[in-house]
């Protein structure tokens, strides 16, 4: 069977990761001189508390190759393929770390997939890969199917402020907004793996209504879109958005993912978004 590996930017809850039986490589978060492994020695509640109280924005780093080497050393002797599924290389060095670690196992079939996305859609791709692996699909089939889904992904999100994206250097084409009128509330997206501005609205309410409209006009109506909602410390807003969307689409309760700390560092508290596949 194909072994699936991902990292904490996939936003998979610990309980779900255990159910799936897959290793989750932790991202690194640095508060000043203190370095933490996300989900190992820094939980989300502690992270949010420190993020709001610290004067200096924390920094993130990709998992060091050694963390991948540890998992590869455990799994490679089985002789079964390993598929690593990670966030866009435009916003994270995780893919690079996995590729570096792979060099130590020249005889193993280790694939590293740059999904060009992050958070909820990455979680969806990981879960689909696990399902396909459990069904006995080959690594070639799984990799090809995921690669076919990647360009069909749509990720739209709102932020409470552009401050975190600007300070963290992950703002991409949204940089132009920094000199704009403060009342502008952008709808952001990932395009070619980078944060870009999709549209501008004057108020949060209008931006949220437009985000819903984008979902309802673009998502397939046959239930194949794998619609998810994601948020950073605004659970009530996320639940309300999920309910607003699933009714018109006649869907069961939608998955709601907490945006992981390594992403919140760059987007800030108050992120609210959706992802789906067209």
Tell me: the pLDDT tens digits for 111-139?
A: 999 999 999 999 999 999 999 999 999 99
Question: Do residues 202 and 91 share a domain?
Answer: no
| 146 and 166 within one domain | no
C-beta pairs of 151-154 under 8 Å, 24+ apart in sequence: 152/277, 152/278, 153/116, 153/117, 153/121, 153/190, 153/275, 153/276, 153/277, 154/189, 154/214, 154/218, 154/219, 154/274, 154/275, 154/276, 154/277, 154/278
> Mean pLDDT lowest for which of 106-115, 164-173, 257-266, 268-277?
164-173
Do 96 and 182 lie in a common domain?
no
Residue-averaged pLDDT of the chain: 93
Please check the confidence at residue 263 and state whether its pLDDT lies above 60.
yes
Separation between Cα atoms, residue 132 and residue 125, nearest integer Å: 11
pLDDT of residue 152: 97
pLDDT of 125: 98
Q: What is the CATH number of the domain that holds 255?
A: 3.30.1180.10
Looking at the 3D structure of the chain, how many domains does it have? 2
**Quick one: 164 and 145 in the same domain?**
no
Boundaries of domain holding 216: 152-277
**Which range among 37-51, 144-158, 164-178 shows the weakest confidence by mean pLDDT?**
164-178
12 and 54 assigned to the same domain: yes
| Residue 41 pLDDT greater than 90, yes or no | yes
Name the pTM for this structure.
Answer: 0.93
Do 67 and 111 share a domain, yes or no? yes
The residue out of 151, 169, 190 marking a domain boundary is 151
**Banded model confidence at residue 179, pLDDT cuts 50, 70, 90:** very low
Choose the final residue of a domain: 125, 151, 177: 151
The verdict on 208 and 228 lying in the same domain is: yes
Sign of the Cα pseudo-torsion (193, 229, 41, 98, in order): negative
Answer for the pair 111, 81: CB distance below 8 angstroms, yes or no. Answer: yes
Q: Across the strands, what pairs with 153? A: 277
205-249 pLDDT tens trace: 999 999 999 999 999 999 899 999 999 999 999 999 999 999 999
Check pLDDT > 60 for residue 101. Answer: yes
> Do 116 and 197 lie in a common domain?
no
Query: What secondary structure letter does DSSP report for 22?
Result: -
Q: Which of 9-13, 159-163, 257-261, 264-268 has the lowest mean pLDDT?
A: 159-163
pLDDT for 181? 47
**pLDDT value at residue 51:** 93
Q: Are residues 143 and 271 in the same domain?
A: no
Residue at which a domain ends, from 151, 185, 206: 151
- Clarify whether residues 123 and 203 are in a common domain: no
The verdict on 237 and 147 lying in the same domain is no
Q: Has residue 73 got a pLDDT over 60? A: yes
**142 and 183 assigned to the same domain:** no
- Domain with 48 in it: what CATH number? 3.40.50.10170
């Amino acid at each position: 069977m194909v072994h699936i590996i991902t990292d904490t930017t996939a936003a998979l809850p610990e309980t779900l990761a255990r159910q799936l039986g897959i290793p989750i490589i932790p991202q690194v978060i640095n508060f000043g001189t203190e370095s933490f492994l996300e989900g190992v020695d820094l939980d989300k509640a502690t992270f949010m508390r420190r993020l709001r109280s610290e004067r200096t924005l924390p920094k993130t780093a990709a998992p060091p190759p050694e963390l991948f080497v540890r998992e590869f050393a455990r799994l490679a002797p089985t002789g079964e393929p390993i598929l690593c599924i990670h966030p866009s290389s435009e916003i994270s060095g995780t893919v690079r770390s996995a590729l570096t670690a792979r060099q130590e196992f020249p005889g193993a079939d280790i694939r590293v997939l740059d999904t060009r996305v992050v958070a909820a859609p990455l979680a969806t791709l990981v879960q689909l890969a696990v399902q396909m692996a459990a069904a006995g699909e080959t690594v070639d089939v799984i990799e090809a199917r995921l690669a076919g889904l990647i360009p069909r992904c749509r990720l739209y999100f709102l932020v409470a402020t552009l401050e975190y994206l600007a300070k963290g250097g992950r703002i991409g084409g949204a940089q132009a907004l920094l000199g704009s009128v403060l009342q502008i509330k952008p709808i952001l997206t990932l395009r070619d793996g980078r944060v870009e501005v999709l549209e501008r609205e004057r108020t949060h309410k209008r931006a949220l209504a437009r985000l819903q409209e984008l979902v309802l006009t673009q998502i397939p109506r046959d239930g194949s879109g794998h619609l998810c909602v994601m948020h950073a410390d605004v659970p009530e807003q996320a639940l309300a958005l999920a309910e607003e969307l699933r009714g018109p689409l006649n869907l069961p309760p939608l998955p709601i993912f907490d945006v992981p700390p390594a992403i919140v560092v760059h987007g800030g508290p108050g992120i609210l978004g959706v992802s789906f596949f067209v």
